[in-house]
């Protein structure tokens, strides 16, 4: 401990420095806790997600309502919120069309320049007032760190304006000076972005950034601007992470799913992946094949596609066959995965046009399979092998893709324990009796929390590892995508092959693991919370993965309030199932709110007319005592720092350590 105190003394070399820091820490501990937002299953729905970040799931509009009440018209509230959400675009519209100038409640001067000065003055006052309302719970030092350097002094002065008359004159003089020096626009933009930053203190994304929507790359770019966020990997995130890291089977899976749902925009425009080699291969291999069962879904609803429906179908078929081959190679390398029932290519009889499963032969829906070699159906042809080499190289060379892969690792984990919440995307594998299921993870049989920790370790080795260890971990990413014991899948099998090739719905069924039948019971959730070191009385679980079918009367609040399932359909393809357009769980110093969102019209409408995501609060669980930072996990860390500083102070006072 003496060695540690000597190191600490280098940072705080005098008694006064220690005392100053102790006062600062005690003050921080007495502040209200920051607001945490939880979302899940974004599935590439970038437009809705970006708006949700900008409006903080309706929190900013509620702040405006609280501040102005009936003193401001609905039209002006919408205009003010639109300015805060999209300051750059809204200011441009004001210049172009005079939007919302005429909506102000008092007559404006006839002179345009005078009107603009009035508009800037009024909006600067209002935006500053909103910023003051959202920064009041934070220390000045925290706010100061987040201020843009160019305007730090001015914004800080505005935020700490006093109602005392002489200070009010000072405040107005600052506003006038800003307008005279033509800095109004830059300052409005800077303060608006500060509001975005501080309204969401921490953003938790509980899995599945990637999948059906066209903007996963845009979501990742927005996350890179959020000052504090974390990601709990979902099954689709693991699929993409494996592909980005070099698992060829998962790369083929990413391509197949993207083509199947007419969503190649993320790959081509977002990440610059060249799909021309795949298109050429598909045309050469299946040129005369109508590819009837391989038609792309939602093709008509994607006007940005430049390829024909027939070419997309051929590409879909080509990459699907490659995927089944590559999966088979990994499964044969790892008998411990216990996935031999997924080895189906060798059960095909091309002469008869059938496949043998169990004790029965089934007719194939497609028998034109020229790349399957009867002697070794899992071996890629030379052309397929060359194609995959090109595609793997393309993934590795995409700087943006590799940047986002690093973000997924640096900010991601399989699970997270934070402030009494346990976050994981899908499941904790369990046996029918409610005990935790043992799973073989790269040679270790583990269950419960140890299973989740071991998988997290293996996922990291798939990126950071070396040699054989890395290869084994990279293979295991496929098991995480579709293996029975995977907490991200946890079904008996993934029947992709059957859905394509066999016209029998019984064979396409996927049986869920025991967890899914147990997780809505309170005692199961309490058992899981104890396993992860949380108080079963006060702790809660947050999941996504399974869409909540509100349209059928399902609720996101499960197990007597011990578990929240917040997959509400952010992405449009899922909204037919859910009947809504997503959830946000909000945890602030007053307690918990669960907010249900309606479909977002469009970014353009939000900018033009101030339209917003309409939300309603499903749950408000507020505590009698406001939660402080001292009540949080971060508070425990700060209290430990206080104890260390007190020991250093004592050492200075008794002369054990000399002041510098």
User: 421 - beta bridge partners?
Assistant: 418, 540
**Residues 238, 239, 243, 249: is their CA dihedral positive or negative?**
positive
Residues with Cβ < 8 Å from 484, sequence gap 6 or more?
A: 338, 339, 490, 491, 492, 493, 513
Lowest average pLDDT, out of 150-154, 161-165, 182-186, 348-352, goes to: 161-165
- Out of 37-41, 56-60, 458-462, least confident range: 56-60
What is the model's pLDDT at position 513?
A: 97
Confidence of residue 547 (pLDDT cuts 50, 70, 90): very high
202-205 sheet: strands from edge to edge:
412-413, 229-232, 202-205, 36-39, 583-588, 591-597, 615-622
Q: What is the mean pLDDT of residues 274-287?
A: 96
Torsion of CA 38, 42, 45, 48, to 10 degrees: -20
| pLDDT, tens only, 191-231 | 999 999 889 999 999 999 998 888 999 999 999 999 899 99
| CA–CA distance, 200 with 54 (Å, rounded to integer) | 9
How would DSSP label each residue in 179-213? HHTT-HHHHHHHHHHHHHHHH-SEEEE-S--SSSS
Q: Nearest-CA neighbor of 324 among 362, 377, 399, 386?
A: 377
Q: What is the percent of the chain where pLDDT is above 70?
A: 95
Of 67-81, 383-397, 400-414, 500-514, the one with minimum mean pLDDT is 67-81
Round to whole Å and give the CA distance between 499 and 507.
8
Whether the pLDDT of residue 105 is over 90: the answer is no
257 vs 250: CA distance, rounded Å: 10
Q: Are 252 and 395 in contact (CB under 8 A)?
A: no
Q: What angle do CA 422, 426, 431 make, to 5 degrees?
A: 95
pLDDT score at 161? 64
Nearest residue to 219 (alpha-carbon basis) of 51, 49, 52: 49
Confidence of residue 442 (pLDDT cuts 50, 70, 90): very high
Handedness of CA 5, 8, 10, 14 (dihedral sign): negative
Detail the DSSP E strand segments found in 233-359.
Answer: 348-349, 354-357
Q: Which residues are within 8 A (CB) of 74 and not within 5 positions of it... i.e. 6 or more apart? A: none
The mean pLDDT value of the chain amounts to 91
Q: Please, which pLDDT band fits residue 480 given cuts at 50, 70 and 90?
A: very high
Which of these ranges, 68-77, 317-326, 488-497, has the smallest mean pLDDT? Answer: 68-77
Cα(435)–Cα(627) distance, rounded to whole angstroms? 34
Displacement of CA 504 from its chain's centroid (Å): 36
**CA separation for the pair 610, 483 (Å, rounded):** 46
pLDDT score of 164? 47
Give the tens place of pLDDT for each residue, 234-260.
Answer: 999 999 999 999 999 999 999 999 999
Contact of 583 with 595, CB cutoff 8 Å: yes
Contacts of 308 (CB under 8 A, 6+ apart): none
On the 0-12 / 13-18 / 19+ scale of CB atoms within 10 A, 393 is exposed
Query: Would you say residue 172 has pLDDT above 80?
Result: no
For residue 301, pLDDT beyond 90: no
> Rounded CA gap, 574 and 600, in Å?
14
Contacts of 64 (CB under 8 A, 6+ apart): 72, 77, 80, 81, 130
What pLDDT score was predicted for residue 583?
92
* pLDDT tops 80 at residue 529: yes
Length in residues, the chain: 660
Most confident of 261-270, 435-444, 566-575: 435-444
Q: At what angle do helices 112-135 and 165-180 cross, to 10 degrees?
A: 130
Say if CB 618 and CB 595 are below 8 A apart: yes
From residue 89, alpha-carbon distances to 49, 492, 603 in Å are 18, 50, 10
């Amino acid at each position: 401990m003496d060695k540690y105190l000597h190191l600490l003394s280098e940072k705080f070399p005098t008694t006064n420095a220690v005392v100053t820091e102790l006062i600062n820490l005690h003050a921080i501990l007495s502040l209200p806790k920051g607001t945490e937002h939880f979302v899940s299953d974004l599935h590439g729905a970038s437009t809705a997600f970006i708006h949700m970040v900008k409006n903080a799931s309706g929190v900013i509009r509620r702040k405006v309502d609280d501040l102005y009440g009936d003193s401001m018209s609905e039209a002006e509230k919408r205009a003010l919120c639109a300015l805060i959400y999209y300051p750059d675009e809204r200011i441009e519209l004001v210049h172009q069309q005079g939007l919302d100038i005429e909506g102000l409640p008092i007559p404006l001067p006839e002179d345009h320049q005078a009107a603009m000065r009035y508009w800037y003055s009024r909006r600067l006052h209002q935006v500053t007032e909103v910023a003051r309302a959202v920064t009041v719970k934070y220390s000045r030092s925290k706010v100061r760190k987040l201020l843009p350097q160019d305007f730090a002094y001015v914004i800080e002065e505005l935020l700490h304006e006093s109602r005392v008359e002489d200070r009010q004159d000072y405040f107005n003089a600052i506003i006038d000076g800003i307008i005279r020096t033509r800095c109004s626009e830059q300052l409005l933009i800077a303060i608006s972005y500060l509001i975005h930053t501080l309204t969401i203190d921490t953003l938790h994304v509980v899995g599945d950034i990637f999948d059906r929507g066209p903007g996963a790359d845009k979501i990742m770019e927005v996350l890179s601007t959020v000052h504090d966020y974390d990601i709990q990997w979902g099954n689709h995130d693991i699929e993409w992470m494996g592909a980005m890291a070099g698992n060829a089977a998962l790369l083929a899976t990413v391509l197949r799913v993207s083509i199947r749902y007419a969503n190649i925009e993320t790959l081509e425009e977002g990440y610059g992946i060249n799909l021309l080699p795949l298109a050429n291969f598909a045309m050469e291999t299946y040129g005369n094949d109508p590819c009837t069962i391989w038609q792309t879904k939602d093709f008509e609803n994607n006007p940005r596609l430049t390829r024909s429906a027939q070419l997309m179908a051929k590409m879909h078929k080509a990459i699907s066959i490659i995927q089944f081959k590559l999966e088979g190679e990994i499964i044969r390398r790892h008998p411990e995965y216990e996935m031999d029932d997924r080895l189906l290519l060798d059960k095909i009889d091309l002469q008869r046009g059938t496949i043998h499963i169990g004790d029965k032969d089934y007719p194939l829906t497609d028998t034109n399979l020229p790349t399957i070699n009867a002697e070794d159906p899992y071996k890629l042809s030379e052309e397929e092998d060359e194609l995959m080499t090109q595609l793997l190289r393309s993934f590795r060379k995409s700087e943006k893709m590799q940047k986002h892969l690093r973000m997924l690792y640096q900010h991601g984990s399989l699970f997270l324990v934070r402030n009494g919440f346990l976050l994981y995307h899908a499941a904790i594998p369990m046996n029918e009796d409610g005990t935790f299921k043992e799973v073989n993870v790269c040679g270790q049989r583990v269950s419960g929390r140890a299973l989740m920790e071991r998988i997290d370790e293996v996922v990291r080795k798939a990126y950071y590892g070396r040699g054989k260890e890395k290869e084994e971990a990279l293979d295991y990413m496929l098991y995480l995508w579709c293996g029975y014991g995977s907490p991200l899948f946890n079904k008996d099998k993934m029947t992709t092959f059957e859905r394509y090739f066999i016209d029998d719905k019984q064979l396409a069924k996927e049986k869920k693991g025991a967890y899914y039948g147990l997780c809505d019971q309170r005692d199961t959730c309490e058992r899981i919370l104890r396993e992860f070191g949380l108080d079963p009385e006060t702790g809660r679980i947050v999941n996504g993965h399974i869409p909540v079918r509100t349209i059928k009367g399902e609720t996101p609040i499960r197990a007597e309030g011990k578990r929240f399932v917040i997959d509400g359909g952010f992405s449009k393809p899922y909204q037919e199932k859910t009947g809504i357009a997503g959830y946000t769980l909000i945890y602030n110093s007053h307690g918990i709110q669960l907010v249900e969102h309606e479909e977002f019209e469009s970014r353009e409408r939000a900018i033009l007319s101030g339209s917003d995501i309409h939300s309603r609060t499903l749950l408000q669980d507020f505590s009698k005592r406001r939660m402080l930072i001292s009540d949080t996990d971060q508070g425990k860390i700060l209290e430990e720092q206080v104890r260390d500083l007190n020991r250093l102070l004592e050492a200075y006072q008794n002369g054990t350590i000399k002041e510098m």
